[in-house]
Amino acid sequence: MTDKEEERIRKAVQRISGNIGDLNEARQLVESGEFEKALSLYMQSLKGSVGGLSDLNLKACLEKLVQEYPPAREAFEKKRDQHESEMLKGRQSRWLIEEWTEINKALGEDYRELEFLQRLQQKPNGLDDFNAYQTIRTNLPKYLQDQRYDVLEPYLNRLGSMFLSHYSNYEIEVYFPQITSEDPTSFLLEEVLQEGPMIYEVCLGLQKISLAERIAQKIFAVSKTNETYRSMLTAARRAGHDEQIKILLNDAKKSLSKVEFEGIRKDFKI
């Protein structure tokens, strides 16, 4: 590494640490009710370099500030617009996108990502595949809760292929493991079982029944537990597919214990 590169990295670390420090302070100011000061600090430090995955609980703090101190809404809307204009100029940092998502959530604008994504993808250097997937994936539970399958249609292929890729990673680690210090299979299985029923529901909601059945087949090839059947039934019920519910119940009857199966019937009022 050259001296110039080292210096650039050192400055970046310093900048990010400084931002994290400011954001921590802003959080404490929100907690102690000093909203004006907190807002001012947030406006200075949200520069797209920290992201939403840190332990700063950004969304909850911003949300509280918006609720308790109404001028914060307009300020955060401006900040959000600034982040969007950076992205339109071609900046695609993961941290910037995560911060932008957190601000949208705090403002209660969960659908803004989808609309913006469509605008961005019309540009020649639109959002790359991974960032587009991450952005949609973050809000997927909310879109499903609202049964907004229509808005997900343009992203179905991306969601489906990412699920198959995660599924394949799990299969590979189980059957052809690499020697590593940590066994990744439980994490990968969790990912498959969390993501799979959601993709199954999107397919059902968009009337892509054979695709939904392929996804279901994969999920049940790796897990036939009470919990998995419940997730899949919740998905099929929300998507309004009685035929799929019947298929799932028939299968559950064969795979689960009598007590588990009766528990499902009772809870799902079937």
Partner 1 sequence: MTTTDDDSKTTVEQNEQVADGLRKSKDMLSKAKALVDEGKFEEGLVLFTSALDGNVGYASRFNLRIALSELLNKNPAAREPLSLKRNQMETMLKEGPLNRRAFEEEWMELNFALGDDYQEIELLKFLHENNQKSKHQVTILNLIKINFGKYLRDKRYKILEPHFDYLGRMFIGYQSFIEAQKLFPTIDRFSDHDDHSYRTITEEEGTLLFELGLALGKIEQAKLVARKIIDGLGSRAIFLKLLAIARRINQNDAYSFILSEAKSNLSIADFNILQSELSAIN
Contacts to partner 1 by CB under 8 A? 129, 156-161, 164-165, 167-168, 171-172, 175-178, 211, 214
C-alpha–C-alpha distance, residues 162 and 167, integer Å: 9
Q: What are the tokens at 142?
A: 């909310």
- Measured from the CB atom, the residue of 161 and 250 that comes closer to partner 1 is 161
Find, among 30, 82, 84, 33, the residue nearest to 60 by Cα. Answer: 30
Eight-state DSSP code of residue 155: G
As a whole number of angstroms, the distance between CA 100 and CA 96 comes to 6
Q: Which residues contact 53 (CB under 8 A, 6 or more apart)?
A: 98
Q: How far apart are CA 211 and CA 9, in angstroms?
A: 46
- Nearer to partner 1 by C-beta: 175 or 254? 175
Residue 115 or 129: the one with the smaller Cβ distance to partner 1 is 129
How long is the chain? 270
Nearer to partner 1, 172 or 270 (CB): 172
Question: Could you tell me the smallest distance in angstroms from the CB atom of residue 166 to partner 1?
Answer: 10
Amino acid at 173: E
Question: Among residues 130 and 187, whose Cβ is nearest to partner 1?
Answer: 130
Least Å distance between CB 137 and partner 1? 14
CB of 168 to partner 1, least distance (A): 3
Dist CA 34 CA 231 (whole Å): 43
Q: Could you tell me if 184 and 191 are in contact, meaning their C-beta atoms sit under 8 angstroms apart?
A: no
Q: At its nearest, how many Å lie between partner 1 and the CB of residue 164? A: 4
Closest contact distance (angstroms) between CB of 5 and partner 1 is 16
